[in-house]
Structure 1
């Protein structure tokens, strides 16, 4: 049945593409009433110059990018410091994360967000999901002429990272895009190769009267990593010694060289809506001339998504000294799978007096697990968690006297998993220069699938748990002064927190539930100070945790500071940006990484951190091309070899990397 549905969806998207092909170039899109600009994403306004576009009728503001929430921005070809922060494997600002030594590996988290509107548990191998593109990571497009973007960046030893994107409107109402991000990197250490691919296709269409809109995407992803378990205990001292012999990282011995893991998934997503009516009614009420026109709209919407994914760990022979005893000692292969078929029906009513109301009913048909039963110590561990979850929810949005009011809620009304959430925030301006947002969020959610059920060839990695829901409450405040200063703060309380740590008896990693309340407070300051062509960009994060069981560990201070110079040279033919970025976080009990689970786990044996990372960069922009050259961690040889991404997993040594982003407007 699922295959039939997927085939129908694929044929629908394919036929739509064929049906809308038009040899005539579409006229420029002129309706940009919904376009918004994030002032923090760029330090200067996007130029509307059309001298570099092949079609003189097109403007840069016509190249629209539409998020899954229908927030709309346009293509930005400027060179800013924020672009430098996003020029990485994830292609987004990775402040609060520290990458492993090789490109395409996981990231350790220096901070956590507990804001959630999810009613379903997450999949396994969460440490491998940083580059796994979810529904909210996929954008849609509307362009007056074909648009291409090419991204390239060097990797570590025998490889490269490339991301190619193309989109075109075959008519003013139909858009199609295709993209592929691929990586291969050997890495500096033994048995640490990465090979990943993210393929995505999107399309969107709207009828001539704009009453029916449809969009969809197909995403296929495979993220493969060789796993080595980190440095052996006696090799850690050799790494930290800094002796020249061991600066060749390939001679350091790792825990094993016979394992690899892969996270693979495909998703078919369809989102369409129909406006039942869109009325404008005149009301002759002289006392309320500003409200003399009543506008109302009723629409129905359907969202359908099918995702099939798995995480597989392969090892030619068992590493019993690392993971404990195994059922068999050779040819280990363990796979966790998830099939999730999601449907939601929405009714959306808008009235300019009452606001925007949305009511929805959704269904999740899930099937998670393994292909066999496990009997351990006389106990049978089931192999599947599957069923149907029906949920109901709603949203509200209203602008009233300078306040922007938004609210959202959801609750599971039937099925094996309980869950609910409530989210609300108010946006307002204190004056013409200062804006603020106050938010609250409550969530009750089932822990991730792999904490509830896990099976593996290693004996101590088999369990079936019945944990309580994780309960979180968050109060958040954001204050922004123009584009100069942004301050965010949030206070979180977490009950029944589920985490991984080593079992006291077996010394192997297993999930546990914290029976104490965790209080977690964060303050984050972002600002930029300019002195002519010089600028100092700062991001500072302060965190404090009250947790009796020490299950949520974060550094107290994390900072990123960039001093840089920007200017046009060669008669404004080239825009140059050069400077130094300083990254630092204080010592704390950093989480360790378990490659078998692809999860981080709590350790309270040794503190890590308190090492600076200095990067020198030269960036340049020539027409629509941005060029990036960076000397990463150039201080590594003189500030001490005590830098780690996780225990037994060193951070990157000094290296020079090059990259480019190139846009074509046809």
Structure 2
């Protein structure tokens, strides 16, 4: 669902009276669709304010459904449905992405399963949104894939009453790809519900999410094929002819989540001087994930294996989470919440491995109890938020603090600042791994990773958008391929790493033409090539907009230039589902030009793009990761259709 910027920070509100008329400038009324004669349609037609069609985030910020066509919508018209400026996609849709930049604004005191290369299209609890709409609302998203496939994202939400909303969505993708054995197939199924009683004493929201990411893996093209690719040998312009490391492997990540969050107001006092209420809350989250790597026979890329054929590695994480909270809100002190949670976890493998007389542990399990608090208040127009949590029992120590302040200087300028301090155990696949490949078995004893991040932002349509972050990383844990011909292994960096990121965006307009620019500068101070990012990343779009055919058609067309400087980009391990640090091959330093023609008719947006138009005449040296070529020139199109019943 495409959304606009946050407009408020409010909880689920009842749907206003249906007789309310549309008032927002620039948006046409939403007409109820009816069958029957034109006379019946005229008699039954209702109009609704676009502001009534609400999206509520996990943090309870409220946004409205946005059916406009902007350059930001073009940037988000992709597989992930978000701006991928800091990501470098692989050749096939549904494969992984190399990271051109990093953010550390979502702290956690508990580690994840790992397999981070498989999680770009995996929605976490914080990514799920809820809805409140006066009429049934639908969005259909379609886009062509690379070859023999398509991407479809279908969504519908409705209110069964003023205080009860349901939504159902499914995003499915399948793409064969241009190279051998890189078929991708993914699915994301989501159900959500939210409810509030008439007296506002009880509120609930819940969701069920099932997600899977399946990829055939080929290990990248061979070193000999890299030379044929770079030299533009005509025979190999048909990319299916290029030799790959193997053609018999696949990996898959599957996750299911059951989530419920509800609270009840025990005490509520409201008069002209005060508005106090006391709430007790409970959150339940049960989630399972498993990761499988299958291969018909061993391959030298990963060394030797215990079994030469039918290699199968499987790891799984089960997590049961319960949180109890007590919140007290006053006009004087704001909203204060005290919380305590319990997490029961089990990370395990489907076999027991013996090396001589030693047994490689096949599971990590335990319980973690954590306590903390949250605070929200607005003082002198400054929106303040703080969140603190610390594990107080269990083998997995961890804690975090996140503080944030936002201030609207005027109608155009918003200033923001935040600080994040986080300590947690490394992801589970750093701690223990079992594999049929001999060198991919370990039981590590790492210290907690520690992160401190300071962030500043300025948002202004008139001037510019700017984000500056300074991050310090201690005990940074990573997968290393820094030693040539050695197998990938988990490592922990003993020295501190400092990371500076400055990101600036500005659009210049002249009549019907506009130049939209985003530039990111990064600087890393470290010993070795552990944490690698390009120094400069830029995206510049020159485009034209107009209304044609008596303003019935809104047109948007232009060209986008993208570029990042050379650096030792992380390499991809399909066995682990992870990226690893390397210092043998640089990627980057090549331009990308995309030409697009987008149009909008009522609430239907049409997208047509010539991707990487320059691929055949600026040199065949474009790679997403070592031995992983980026995409050749490709024509793609699709539509996004919003309609309101």
What TM-score range do you get, normalising by the shorter chain? over 0.9
Give the Å deviation of 1:585.
0.2
Residue 224 of structure 2 aligns to a residue whose secondary structure is helix
Q: 1:216-235 maps to which residues of 2 (within 5 A)?
A: 216-235=206-225
Give the Å deviation of 1:593.
0.3
- Contact 1:26/1:171 (8 A) holds in 2: no
2:56 aligned with 1:66: yes
- Contact 1:124/1:336 (8 A) holds in 2: no
Alignment partner for residue 145 of structure 1, among 117, 135, 148? Answer: 135
Alignment partner for residue 129 of structure 1, among 116, 119, 123? Answer: 119
C-alpha separation between the residues in 1 aligned to 2:356 and 2:429?
Answer: 20
Alignment partner for residue 343 of structure 2, among 364, 389, 402? Answer: 364
2:599 aligned with 1:609: no
Give the Å deviation of 1:59.
2.1
Deviations 1:151-207 (A, max 9, x none): 000001110000111111111111111111001100000000011111111111111
Cross-structure match for 2:296: 316
C-alpha separation between the residues in 2 aligned to 1:482 and 1:401?
Answer: 24
Deviations 1:126-172 (A, max 9, x none): 10000011111211111111111110000011100001111111111
Alignment partner for residue 523 of structure 2, among 536, 539, 544? Answer: 544
- Contact 2:30/2:48 (8 A) holds in 1: no
- Contact 1:67/1:139 (8 A) holds in 2: yes
2:452 aligned with 1:462: no
Deviations 1:205-225 (A, max 9, x none): 111112111111111111110
Alignment partner for residue 555 of structure 1, among 534, 539, 546? Answer: 534
Cross-structure match for 2:10: none
Cross-structure match for 1:349: 328
Alignment partner for residue 578 of structure 1, among 533, 550, 557? Answer: 557
Change (3 A) 1:29 1:601: farther
C-alpha separation between the residues in 1 aligned to 2:410 and 2:516?
Answer: 25
C-alpha separation between the residues in 2 aligned to 1:166 and 1:549?
Answer: 50
C-alpha separation between the residues in 1 aligned to 2:372 and 2:158?
Answer: 36
C-alpha separation between the residues in 1 aligned to 2:126 and 2:18?
Answer: 27
C-alpha separation between the residues in 2 aligned to 1:190 and 1:315?
Answer: 15
Cross-structure match for 2:154: 164
Cross-structure match for 2:46: 56
Cross-structure match for 1:16: none
Residue 246 of structure 1 aligns to a residue whose secondary structure is helix
C-alpha separation between the residues in 2 aligned to 1:457 and 1:355?
Answer: 55
Q: 1:448-527 maps to which residues of 2 (within 5 A)?
A: 448-482=427-461, 484-502=463-481, 504=483, 507-527=486-506
TM-score, normalised relative to structure 2: 0.93
- Contact 1:499/1:551 (8 A) holds in 2: yes
Alignment partner for residue 187 of structure 2, among 184, 197, 204? Answer: 197
C-alpha separation between the residues in 2 aligned to 1:271 and 1:51?
Answer: 32
Cross-structure match for 2:41: none
C-alpha separation between the residues in 2 aligned to 1:643 and 1:660?
Answer: 29
Q: What stretches of structure 2 of length at least 5 have no aligned partner? A: 1-14, 34-44
Change (3 A) 1:461 1:29: farther
- Contact 1:29/1:144 (8 A) holds in 2: no
Change (3 A) 1:215 1:51: closer
C-alpha separation between the residues in 2 aligned to 1:435 and 1:89?
Answer: 30
- Contact 1:516/1:549 (8 A) holds in 2: no
C-alpha separation between the residues in 2 aligned to 1:257 and 1:305?
Answer: 38
Residue 597 of structure 1 aligns to a residue whose secondary structure is coil
Q: What stretches of structure 1 of length at least 5 have no aligned partner? A: 1-24, 33-44, 283-292
Cross-structure match for 2:601: 622
Q: 1:255-404 maps to which residues of 2 (within 5 A)?
A: 255-282=245-272, 293-319=273-299, 321-376=300-355, 378-404=357-383
Alignment partner for residue 210 of structure 1, among 193, 196, 200? Answer: 200
Alignment partner for residue 84 of structure 2, among 81, 90, 94? Answer: 94
C-alpha separation between the residues in 1 aligned to 2:403 and 2:390?
Answer: 15
Q: Kindly report the root-mean-square deviation, in angstroms, between the aligned alpha carbons of the 2 structures.
A: 1.8
C-alpha separation between the residues in 1 aligned to 2:287 and 2:613?
Answer: 42
- Contact 1:280/1:294 (8 A) holds in 2: yes
C-alpha separation between the residues in 2 aligned to 1:50 and 1:157?
Answer: 39
Cross-structure match for 1:405: 384
C-alpha separation between the residues in 1 aligned to 2:21 and 2:485?
Answer: 64
C-alpha separation between the residues in 2 aligned to 1:506 and 1:565?
Answer: 51
Give the Å deviation of 1:468.
0.3
Cross-structure match for 1:236: 226
Deviations 1:315-360 (A, max 9, x none): 11111x1110101011111111011111111111111111211110
Deviations 1:72-104 (A, max 9, x none): 111110000111011000001111001000000
2:642 aligned with 1:663: yes
Alignment partner for residue 512 of structure 2, among 533, 548, 558? Answer: 533
C-alpha separation between the residues in 1 aligned to 2:19 and 2:374?
Answer: 30
- Contact 2:403/2:420 (8 A) holds in 1: yes
2:94 aligned with 1:104: yes
Give the Å deviation of 1:486.
1.0
Q: Which moved more, 1:113-122 or 1:236-245?
A: 113-122
Residue 117 of structure 2 aligns to a residue whose secondary structure is helix
Residue 201 of structure 1 aligns to a residue whose secondary structure is strand
Q: Would you identify which runs of 4 or more consecutive aligned residues in structure 1 move more than 6 Å?
A: 29-32
- Contact 1:29/1:62 (8 A) holds in 2: no
Residue 131 of structure 1 aligns to a residue whose secondary structure is coil
Cross-structure match for 1:419: 398
Change (3 A) 1:460 1:48: same
- Contact 2:30/2:47 (8 A) holds in 1: no
- Contact 2:464/2:507 (8 A) holds in 1: yes
Q: Which moved more, 1:649-658 or 1:477-486?
A: 477-486
Give the Å deviation of 1:435.
2.8
